[in-house]
Amino acid sequence: MKKIIHILIVIVIASLLLNCGEKRNKPLVTETMNSGILEIFCDESYSFILDSVFKMYQERYEDVELTVNYVNARNAKSQLLGGRTRVSIIGRDNLDDEDSLMRLYNIEPHIRMDIANDGIVFFTQADFPLDTLNDATLLQVFTENKKLKELLPKLNSTSRINSEPEFVIAHQNSSEYGNFINLVCQQKPLKKQIVLLPNSDSVIEYVQNNPNAIGICYLSQVQGKFFKLLRIGYTAQNGKYVRATKVPHQSFIVMGEYPYITTLRIYLQEGRKDKKDLPYWFGTFIEKENIAVQHYKKMRLVPSYAVYKLDDERRPTIRDVIK
């Protein structure tokens, strides 16, 4: 069934590409950097953060008729690849099949503007009898269908966990799931059955009500809630193993000391051609405007357009200076 769904997704994207010349959004002749009509497609996983930023933009630029469509990451990428939008905002990188389609149709990489960094985290109820995991164990569990209780005997010594823990994540078209495949599974086929739910709110509610569940969400979605964030050990690019001594936190994302760092990006169909390019200036506001950057900080993202100074190497806190 999953293979059929995957094939259908590829067919839909391909059909969009074939029609991109006819259905591409065209800018108004009278478009300027702060006036005109702009329709964008935005990753619904970040609507709780970006909705306020779009309102800030509309309050400042009243002559821009902005239409925001909140859709799943797969849809947002499809609209971009099919030429049906000039701007998409997505919280993940391309998936393998999307890269293949771009090569097949000779599509050049889109202009990218980084908004902020986030991270994929694993979280449980506060009294779950596990504090740490590592990237090798997770890879075995998901791509070799190994049982967590077999790899971690500690789980067998507690009466609280009577069965194999279940992993829970948003649906296959979400950016959370895409990042999970790209980063945690290292783009290898998923072989373990996991629970797929409509969105991150459903995942959070599921973990709240199921003591045996391990949720997979963005750090920005669950930090500050009454959950345990599991520490993740991993092998760094230099080949050295980094022990799981640190609870996921924005400061470690700043330092690059977390294995599952993600990036929320703006993708543009066209770059800045002149001072009247509305999508470019819209993207510049979303990426760099001070009020937007401050909002990202408040919402537990790590803004890309900032300089960070770490105060304490043992438990860094972030003091940032906006560029």
Q: SS3 for 156?
A: helix
- What is the rounded CA–CA span in Å between residue 170 and residue 29? 41
- Where among 237, 256, 275 does a domain terminate? 256
How far is residue 213 from each of residues 65, 127, 144, 200, measured CA to CA in Å?
44, 12, 20, 14
- Where among 238, 256, 274 does a domain terminate? 256
Q: SS3 for 319?
A: strand
161 lies in the same domain as 239 = yes
Per-residue pLDDT reduced to its tens digit, 54-105: 999 999 999 999 999 999 999 999 999 999 999 999 999 999 999 999 999 9
CATH of the domain at 219: 3.40.190.10
Report pLDDT for 8: 46
Give residue 156's pLDDT band: very low, low, confident or very high (50, 70, 90): confident
- 8 Å CB contact between 46 and 108: no
Residue at 292: amino acid letter: A
128 lies in the same domain as 110 = no
82 lies in the same domain as 147 = no
Report pLDDT for 320: 46
Which strand (E) or helix (H) includes residue 232?
A: strand 231-235
Per-residue pLDDT reduced to its tens digit, 41-57: 999 999 999 999 999 99
- What is the rounded CA–CA span in Å between residue 175 and residue 181? 10
- What is the rounded CA–CA span in Å between residue 259 and residue 120? 9
155 lies in the same domain as 181 = yes
79 lies in the same domain as 128 = no
| DSSP states along 80-143 | HHTTS-SEEEESS---HHHHHHHHHTTPPPPEEEEEEEEEEEEEE-TT-S--EEEHHHHHHHHH
- 8 Å CB contact between 170 and 204: no
**Predicted TM-score (pTM) above 0.95:** no
Average pLDDT of the chain, as a whole number? 89
- Where among 210, 230, 256 does a domain terminate? 256
**Number of domains making up the chain:** 2
- 8 Å CB contact between 217 and 191: no
15 vs 282, more confident = 282
Per-residue pLDDT reduced to its tens digit, 275-316: 779 999 999 999 999 999 999 999 999 999 988 876 655 444
Residue range of the domain that includes 293 = 2-116+262-322
Report pLDDT for 3: 53
